[in-house]
Amino acid sequence: MPANEDRIKKVSIIISKGSLEGVYPGLIMANGARMEGIDANVFFTFFGLDAIVKKRMKKLKVATVGNPAMHIPSLIGILPGMSALATIMMKREMEKLDIPPVDEFIEMIHDAGAKLYACKATVDMFHLKREDFCDEVDDIITVGQFYEVSAGAQIIFT
């Protein structure tokens, strides 16, 4: 165990992908940080915003095309229903491990004290408004503001 002064005290996690396998790593890291007493900020940008947009957060899917970790040829991945099947299978496995669905996980992480932010540039680019986001989003901030809240933090890009 590292000496107390070497211990990570704060993390800022950037989530930029809107697929299940793009969102969960950041949520798991934020949850783990809070469980260890580490301050956590989560910054959602580009398609990662789908995890906090009310209409989309329950509809995230596994990307089966162009995803070498799927270990299937892209030609198979483009077949109708492959993404849905992979999503069902992944959700079943996560349920076995007691990993909550995205919307519940977002609520749990926020209730544990993590701060959740949407990227202002992306919000503007996608023509979104504050009311499009779930209640757990603390603010819509610029990249400069993200760096300010991240002062002293380890920045993790998932």
Residue 128 counted as domain residue: yes
20-35 and 102-111 helices cross at what angle (nearest 10)? Answer: 20
20-35 and 82-96 helices cross at what angle (nearest 10)? Answer: 20
Total of domains in the chain: 1
User: Domain containing 50: what range?
Assistant: 10-61+101-157
* CA of residue 134 relative to chain centroid, distance: 13
Residue 118 contacts residue 133 (beta carbons within 8 Å):
yes
Average pLDDT over residues 129-136: 98
Residue 18 counted as domain residue: yes
Residue 50 counted as domain residue: yes
Q: What is the pLDDT of residues 75-129, one digit of tens each?
A: 677 777 788 888 888 889 989 999 999 999 999 999 999 999 999 999 999 999 9
pTM for the complete prediction?
0.88
